[in-house]
Chains A and B, each alone.
Chain A
């Protein structure tokens, strides 16, 4: 990517500074630059070029330690993440509790494009209930906007990034208009077996939605829908769409994609935005705070140039925070002034409050029907081809389940690229075989395992939040976050429900559960932060006393300061947050453009 230096950036005038380059920053900068605003993007990590750096066909045998997870590379050696993980060297954070149930572990990726380079690519729309959850069951918060208001932006994002899926007309699981979704990939054999047996349990199994191109994007018709009345933007995005190949059904998406067949900010948002000539990107720029002018408006950001270690400043008419929910909160709380002694845009005292992750729980099983199948290529689109949306809305509303919100099920199985775990831990099936019999067992059981991952909604609560630690600073001298975390019974009961459901499903497939079914929800639930769907901390709302931003992500206190990442989410539906982050970011960017045109910014 063409980059600017700190010195060059400080000498230029920008309309908007965008802090962060992932799903939120990428989408914000894309929309603004394509529509003519001059944008400076700051990224705390290094430049990253997926077309050159992605290990596409490397086998596990070619990686150190066969590619296993290590503290340096928590998702394995070939995972796209650079300088990231739940611990980042030199960038600590603090938890007030030592207990697993009271901790929040914070994933960061210090690289251009952030977490979008390695994410699972699951891309679901929130449904109508998800925007008004309190109205439905009296818990949590309603969004200050409805599904109908965000729907046109979901349409645009799906058309821009490319999402496969189907319209199934299921409750609270919106269809997309014609022309938005790409055809889903054919199911794998395990998908078909799961769908067949899930039907008996009343679970719908339908095409998954993931940001992978199953065919090339429609570069003839889509550009005009994305950028009406803007021929230059249409030309640029049409050219860019032609540069993205369709999936060639090989290599794991988590490594990133050098042929640009999946969405990552670095291959989808940033190249066309740069092609406008309106976007400058400054990497290795660790933002410390938003600076405030005498007029009470944001004047820019101060940051540490990690190359030189020098404190620097960049100025613009508008500042957008898209640094990831917790990093955005951290920047706000570290931006103290006489006017905002408790952090910028925090007159409500709500900055840092209502941090959420996704409820996760997993069960694996071994399915005799899938043993010793004729060899065939099951790589497909790497992630799930199908999934099960939440299906017990009526039972839940009637109070029959003991927890208030739903979950969806991501699953998989099959003959994936052999790894360290492929023939490990088979004793429960083999009775400890070794020698020629072990080799036969390995062949027999290879591809016969399935897993079910529940992904459920967490309701925001008063006990899950973050603040600035009074003592600890990172290596740049910037005060760090201190986390407080607690699940409610809505989450732990939901996790237990996942375990029971998945065990029933495995049984319905004629299989055996691997390990123990965790009926104690507190044990079944994945630790806070481990699903890496961090949202909340600077909620949008209708009341300046109770929320941090309005329905556009514009902070109540500072008119030219916007938040476009997950921090503004008033709830965390079971639907993975990335698509909604992008839809909100596009909408916020449109608002910024409109206010700039009206000279209100």
Chain B
């Protein structure tokens, strides 16, 4: 079930409705022009090409912001026995590409991420007197524990917790779509097969559904 239409249908529709709701009556008819920002990749890009971060629109992050971004990426996805850390496989480049994109969803996240990274450094300085990237692990954890879960975040951390949730989603999305992340999840598809055998017997046993009908 790669790319089931239904997943994207909702995301896609959310955008359509948001764009329309924000538009006065006379302009609705011309939404098409307004919607298709000239600096996006357009409605007919080359689908077979492999794209690099920064190729389609200019990137945003300064070196200092990238350092903070990488440090937070690696707090969320550090290296372990299975796979490298998020920053080691280019997730910061992906985040920069994401927040630099001219589309509404990404522009929304841009505000959240830039403000969040600035907050993180300010919080690190306030608590420990240095940038987030320069903190040791327990210091980073002390901050992240306060913002890692929206429902449990104290009121003064509510906004930062919202940032962290977005950042974790994007970091994870960036990471698990790399070859290293995909291997980590043990996804073994996207290869041509002579036949499709269905799940192996140990899977059926574990779930308790018996052998597949032939």
Contact = CB atoms under 8 A, between A and B. Distances in A.
A59 B182 contact: yes
B33 A370 contact: no
Contacts, number: 333
A188 B10 CA distance: 24
B29 A472 contact: yes
B188 A376 contact: yes
Given A71-B15, A413-B1, A434-B75, A250 B32 contact: no
A462 interface: no
A377 B16 contact: no
Interface in B1-41: 1-13, 15-17, 19-21, 25, 28-33, 35-37, 40-41
A412 B5 CA distance: 11
Given A87-B32, A89-B32, A187-B212, A66 B173 contact: yes
Given A66-B174, A69-B8, A415 B83 contact: no
B204 interface: yes
Nearest to A419: B177
Interface in B144-186: 144, 148-152, 165, 168-170, 172-179, 181-182, 184-186
B196 A185 contact: yes
Interface string B98-111: 10010111100000
B70 to A, nearest CB: 15
B47 A83 contact: no
A373 B173 contact: no
Contacts of A83: 43-44
A248 B193 contact: yes
A74 B10 CA distance: 10
A252 B186 CA distance: 19
A476 to B, nearest CB: 13
A226 interface: no
Contacts of A67: 3, 177
A64 B105 CA distance: 14
A206 B120 CA distance: 53
Interface residues of B, number: 105
A64 B212 contact: no
Interface in A357-398: 362, 369-370, 373-384
B197 interface: yes
Highest count of chain A CB atoms <10 Å: which of B44, B50, B181:
B44
Nearest to A378: B189
A424 interface: yes
A369 B208 contact: yes
B172 A72 contact: no
B8 A79 contact: yes
B197 A72 contact: no
A376 B203 contact: yes
A155 interface: no
B28 A95 contact: yes
A188 B97 contact: no
A72 B148 contact: no
Contact of B76 (A90, A100, A415, A434): A434
B188 A375 contact: yes
Given A86-B13, A433-B148, A435-B75, A188 B41 contact: no
A66 B97 CA distance: 10
Contacts of A85: 12, 43
A380 B197 CA distance: 9
Given A58-B50, A419-B3, A370 B207 contact: yes
Interface of A: 46, 53-55, 57-80, 82-95, 98, 100, 103, 105, 118, 120, 185-189, 192-193, 196, 247-252, 254-255, 362, 369-370, 373-384, 410, 412-425, 427, 431-436, 438-439, 442-443, 446, 451, 453, 469, 472, 480, 526-527, 530-531
22 contacts: A55-B47, A60-B177, A65-B101, A66-B177, A69-B11, A74-B12, A80-B47, A87-B19, A87-B36, A93-B29, A196-B209, A249-B196, A377-B191, A377-B193, A413-B1, A415-B186, A418-B177, A433-B148, A435-B78, A436-B80, A446-B185, A472-B29
Given A72-B43, A380-B1, A446-B187, 16 more contacts: A53-B48, A54-B47, A59-B190, A71-B15, A71-B19, A72-B45, A75-B9, A75-B12, A92-B32, A185-B198, A189-B203, A254-B3, A369-B208, A422-B185, A436-B78, A530-B9
Interface of B: 1-13, 15-17, 19-21, 25, 28-33, 35-37, 40-45, 47-48, 50-51, 55-56, 75-78, 80, 82-83, 94, 97-98, 101, 103-106, 141, 144, 148-152, 165, 168-170, 172-179, 181-182, 184-200, 202-204, 206-210, 212-214
